[in-house]
Structure 1
Amino acid sequence: MKASDLFVKALEAEGVEYVFGIPGEENLDLLESLRTSSIRLILTRHEQAAGFMAATYGRLTGRAGVCLATLGPGATNFVTPAAYAQLGGMPMLMLTGQKPVKLSKQGHFQIVDVVDMMKPLTKYTRQIVSADNIPARVRESFRRAEEERPGAAHLELPEDIARDETDAILLPASYHRRPIADDKAIAHAAAAIREAKRPLLMIGAGANRKTCSKMLREFVDHTGIPFFTTQMGKGVIDEHHPLWLGNAALSDGDFVHRAIEQADCIVNCGHDVIEKPPFFMRRGLRTVIHVNFCSAEVDTVYFPQIEVVGDVANTVWQLKQSVAPQPHWDFAWFDTVRRHLEAHLARGADDARFPIHPVRLVADVRACMPDNGILCLDNGMYKLWFARYYRSRQPNTLLLDNALATMGAGLPSAIAAKIVHPQRKVVAVAGDGGFLMNSQELETAVRLGLDLTVLLLRDDAYGMIKWKQAHMQFPNFGMDMGNPDFVRYAQAYGAQGHRPGSTAEFAPLLAHCLDTPGMHLIDVPIDYSDNDRVLNHEIRELSRAI
């Protein structure tokens, strides 16, 4: 069998459905093998976008998404998606080509050491130097990418190896189950929770990766312990739950931080230090229990006193069995915080100013989106508003990046989400800065016939950095820019472009786009003038006044 055929059969054996990317001449044997396989090639307009799509596929399915590029400039365009997947805990396999390794006739034309480049960005990277090694290399790359903590893997297939003949056979995946936590660790953690006066539950990214939602909801309902989430933990438990205390969207000073200050035991389920700290630990103030698939990575603000390492869902189930509501628990302060939070989150939801105010925007989007609809956020100022005000009702329905926090991922991620869940409503939310970094993928979405909406929030600037520049009392410099006519821009790709003329027009327009087949872009001017007043002053003043 030709090596490229064996490689593709190995991908099929791993359950690969799609390969996202742009082939080059060094991939032509592999491309021909893909042509006759069960795997669908999703041709993109940029390798970076292909990587974001593969990572999002992995995030939503738990199986490694696969992306393809040629050597040199194609491979270097995978650097940002590699970091995106690695920091975000998203299983992904990158495939790149290379010139012949047994006999080169072109010197060093286009050649960079891609394997060496990928080492600090991946869990596993190898050049395939023998066709006979393909089964082992493919199996190991998927195992590494998908096991906890998930991340990026990379394989380089040189063109002369791809056309070699081999009689190697595939290696099946071994049967395995994630290990469960030690009984003594469970008992130690359960005792700490029972003995606390004001225990609190925090839900992080790790609890959003596996099927932890049911167990965590049962734990909260059984114990009555209030909970809050990190940005990447949103939706694990319905945020309309009466024990929800908010999201750690801001670093400090929010309502949720008033609750954290009073907690004497915090159970961190799935916390990952890659995310911005949801709270700052100080010695002696409280007991912190680390519940995760992997042991804690200690740094200056995270040094848990108790670690329970093993399958998170099983750990939570065991804790539920071991912890009954205690008569000395006192949640009165948390109840007060929640009442004030609820009142504050409702403020501004009916603001009629135009350009639209962020609170009104989030409220209208939430009202239009079904419970299982998926929002894919790019990175910008709006991320803080959505993290704080958008109440997620199901896991992985607000996809934001609080790890690498890269711009340009919103539209590619939404394309992948729609491919994975074709029956669900999917909206990409992007600022004008991030959108134009991968806006060419509008053509990809149109070509694939996807029913997808892009919500483009236009402030004609790199808004988040402009806000921080002003907050640090620097003069406005280097952040303002011009933009194309986004309605006509979308139409040029074969999409439908829309622009509301008032805030009142926005929600009906979004509802129309969600219910109308095809690719839609809504150009919405947004007013960020309240960033500092609300996020820096009003929230802190109101939360301190509790």
Structure 2
Amino acid sequence: MTTPKKASDLFVECLEAEGVEYIFGVPGEENLDLLESLSDSSIKLVLTRHEQGAGFMAATYGRHTGKTGVFLATLGPGATNMVTAIAYSQLGGMPTLAITGQKPIKHSKQGRFQILDVVAMMEPVTKFAHQLHSGDNIPSRVREAFRLAEEEKPGATHLELPEDIAAEDAFTQPIARSVARRPSAETKAVRQAVEAIEAAKSPVLVIAAGANRRMTSNMLGEFVEKTRIPFVTTQMGKGVLDERHPLFLGCAALSAGDFCHRAIEDADLIINVGHDVIEKPPFFMDADGAKVIHISNTTAEVDPVYFPQIEVIGDIANAVWQIKEAITPQDTWSCGRMLEYRAADVAHSDPLEADTRFPIFPPHLVRQVRGAMPDDGIICLDNGVYKIWFARNYTAYLSNTVLLDNALATMGAGLPSAMMSAMLYPDRRVMAICGDGGFMMNSQELETAVRLGLNLTVLILRDDAYGMIRWKQANMGFKDYGLTYGNPDFVKYAESYGAIGHRITSSEHLTDVLAETGNTPGVHVIDCPVDYTENDQILNH
């Protein structure tokens, strides 16, 4: 007979069997057995100052590694605080496991105090949500949560561990990770795609969120080199291929009418790789327009603007490899006009990026940051109008060096995302880029960053308003109302946490400070005033 062990010990052993390195979170009394078990494990507990920060860190761990990031909270308010981060990882395709505690489920003595149906709350925003009713069920439920979190499309899972279940004896053992390979695309579908591409006059490649995987990046690079077909990225496809490539046409950061959208409109065939409906579509289909080949792990979700004529379903990297191997580049392909749009884009942007006015002009800010970051440097964008500028104008050289959220598009994720990046890659430069509104939503995590001894820069773009909504408010003809606020002294605020504060006074000063913070260890916070007043004139060209 198997020797009994405490269920919380078994739970931690199951996490160790899955290769878990960190658990991020804010524990409560319902997690105390689990905490005790963690204290004797190989897993490092990273205590954060809010459950959102823990969840954003776990999601970023999943985004970088492809492995499930794990975060922890108590019942009731701890669990409700998790929901935004869970939705962030679910929509963004980042594998995570959220663990929550619960009051005893067999003999409750506290009525309904703090008790919500957390599993029911999690079901709409996860791939799997389950309350553990028995210690002996822990191994199978943990293995299933990790399997589903990492299976394409990756996303969020949830397990609730009630305190009486955590404390009981269990008699089972962890289940080893299974080995699984995604199915390959069907040969006939590949042949149809090859024939359509060879018959096209002006094909274009669109690289989207689902293509942001290491092997897919390699195969797409080989495909572009062999075919010389130009490519566009969506915001969450940035960096899949080096954007210094002469065939790069731009990032679909704006709506129809921008230069890269005009290039797409010039195509008669769109090879759409890794399309995910969570992103704003990089193009709209019509019955008489370009044909579309959909290459993805899953079939297309058809709607009025997306109904591809050919679908190649299976492992994306393998599908691209099969097409690349079978295709014969055609002399009849004509992509010159697309490249002219890219040249016009660069010509349009260059003088704007050279504008050194103060407060800092957004195009110039992007150029400054790009100049300060090494090739493998990682920028982690919060959400605001500046995200458009960075998606559109910041040249990504490597995969997962521009972390932005074009799925849930939540504020408050930039700083925790940068913290996780700095933990994983201590030898690379990491910068969080946040609006003042988004920064203040999780600014308390500065204490966590300092406590962990991280090296990172937090660039706060200050306009003393919820700038994106204020811009749209003006665009839609509404009066300026309800969107401006005051801010703390960000230099003193940083120093109160033990970070290093900097206040920008000119464009030249920003250049110097970005260089200084890149060469000085510690957590740096930069208060940088920005000027968004000419967004319309610049973006509506």
TM-score range, shorter chain: over 0.9
Choose which of 40, 44, 51 in structure 2 pairs with 1:47: 51
Q: Counterpart of 1:511?
A: 515
Spell out the pairing of 1:171-250 with structure 2 (5 A cutoff): 171-250=175-254
* Aligned partner of 1:449 among 453, 457, 463: 453
Are the counterparts in 1 of residues 434 and 458 from structure 2 also a CA contact under 8 Å?
Answer: yes
Q: Which residue in the other structure is 1:531 paired with?
A: 535
In the TM superposition, residue 210 of structure 1 has moved relative to its aligned partner by 4.1
Q: Are the counterparts in 2 of residues 495 and 521 from structure 1 also a CA contact under 8 Å?
A: yes
* Code of the aligned partner of 1:363: R
- C-alpha distance after superposition, 1:393-419 (max 9, x if no partner): 000100000000000000011111111
Is the contact made by 1:59 and 1:209 (CA closer than 8 Å) also made in structure 2?
A: no
Distance (Å, rounded) in 2 between the aligned partners of 1:344 and 1:293:
37
Structure 2: how far apart are the matches of 1:211 and 1:444?
A: 34
Q: Distance in 1 between matches of 2:297 and 2:44?
A: 33
Q: Deviations over 1:362-418 (max 9, x none)?
A: 000000101111000000010000000001000010000000000000001111111
Does the alignment pair 1:306 with 2:310? yes
Q: Unaligned stretches of 5+ in structure 2?
A: none
Which of 255, 266, 270 matches 1:266? 270
Which residue matches 1:480? Answer: 484
Q: Does 1:94 align with 2:98?
A: yes
Give the letter for the 2:349 counterpart: L
375, 378, 382: which one pairs with 2:379? 375
Q: Which amino acid aligns with 1:263?
A: A
Map 1:265-284; keep pairs closer than 5 Å.
265-284=269-288
CA distance in 1, matches of 2:201, 2:375: 35
| Structure 2 CA distance for aligned equivalents of residues 362 and 374 of structure 1 | 14
Cα distance in structure 2, aligned partners of 1:2 and 1:106: 24
Match of 1:465 in 2: 469
Q: Check conservation: 1:373, 1:424, Cα contact below 8 A.
A: yes
| 1:169 Cα deviation after fit | 1.1
Match of 1:4 among 5, 8, 33: 8
Structure 1, unaligned stretches of length 5 or more? 539-546
**Cα deviations by residue, 1:53-110 (Å, 9 ceiling, x for unpaired):** 1111101110110000000000010110111011111100000000000100000100
Question: Out of 128, 132, 153, which is 1:128 matched to?
Answer: 132
Q: Is the 8 A contact 1:213 1:237 kept in 2?
A: yes
How far apart, in 1, do the equivalents of 2:332 and 2:514 lie? 49
Q: Aligned partners of 2:538 and 2:31: how far apart in 1?
A: 52
The answer for the alignment partner of 1:76 in structure 2 is 80
Q: Does 1:436 align with 2:460?
A: no
CA contact (8 A) 1:231 1:387 kept: yes
Contact 2:264 2:338 in 1 (8 A): no
The equivalences for 1:10-159 within 5 A come to 10-159=14-163
SS of equivalent to 2:447:
helix
* Contact 1:198 1:330 (8 Å CA) reproduced: yes
* 1:163-174 matches, cutoff 5 A: 163-174=167-178
* Aligned 8 A contact 1:4 1:30 in 2: yes
SS at 1:427 equivalent: strand
- 2:406 maps to a residue whose letter is N
8 Å Cα contact 1:455/1:524 also seen in 2:
yes
Report deviation, 1:236.
0.6
Q: Take 2:273 and 2:286, find their aligned partners in 1: how far apart are those partners?
A: 19
CA RMSD of aligned residues (A): 0.8
Contact 1:62-1:210 within 8 A present in 2 as well? no
2:112 and 2:433 mapped to 1: Cα distance? 42
C-alpha distance in structure 2 between counterparts of 1:153 and 1:418, whole Å? 25
Task: Give yes or no for the alignment of 1:337 onto 2:346.
Answer: no
In structure 2, C-alpha distance between the alignment counterparts of 1:449 and 1:147, rounded to whole Å:
33
Tell me the equivalent position of 1:418: 422
User: How far apart are 1:209 and its partner, in Å?
Assistant: 3.1
* Counterparts of 2:348 and 2:176, CA distance in 1: 54
Task: Please list the CA deviations of residues 316-350 of structure 1 after superposition, one character each: whole Å capped at 9, or x if unmatched.
Answer: 11111111210211112112112212212322222
- Corresponding position: 1:254 with 2:262: no
Shift of 1:45: 0.1
| 2:282 alignment partner, SS class | coil
| 1:544 aligned partner | none
**Number of the residue aligned with 1:352:** 356
Q: Percent identity?
A: 64
Q: Residue by residue, what CA displacement relative to the aligned partner does 1:420-439 show, whole Å, maximum 9, x if unpaired?
A: 21211100000000000000
Q: Report deviation, 1:211.
A: 2.3
Corresponding letter in the other structure for 2:75: L
Amino acid paired to 1:217: G
- Structure 1 residue 284, shift from structure 2 partner: 2.3
State the 1:252 CA deviation.
1.2
TM-score relative to the length of structure 2: 0.98
How far apart, CA to CA, are the structure 1 residues paired with 2:38 and 2:428?
Answer: 28
1:360 is matched by which residue type in structure 2?
Answer: H
**Does the 8 A contact of 1:409 with 1:438 survive in 2?**
yes
| Partner residue, 1:391 | 395
SS at match of 1:285: coil
Which 10-residue stretch deviates more, 172-181 or 63-72? 172-181
Contact 1:427 1:453 in 2 (8 A): yes
User: How far, CA to CA, are the matches of 1:342 and 1:476 in structure 2?
Assistant: 33
Over residues 264-289 of structure 1, what are the superposed CA-to-partner deviations in whole Å (9 max), with x where a residue is unaligned?
Answer: 11001111010011111111211101
Residues 418-462 of structure 1, C-alpha deviations (whole Å, 9 max, x = no match): 112121110000000000000000000000000010000000000
Assess if the C-alpha contact under 8 Å between 1:132 and 1:166 holds in 2: yes
Separation of aligned partners in 2, 1:303 and 1:416: 38
Instruction: Tell me what 2:405 maps to.
Output: 401
Please say if residues 271 and 290 of structure 1, whose CA atoms lie closer than 8 Å, have aligned partners that are also in contact: yes
Residues 355 and 502 in structure 1, CA contact (< 8 A), matched pair in contact too: yes
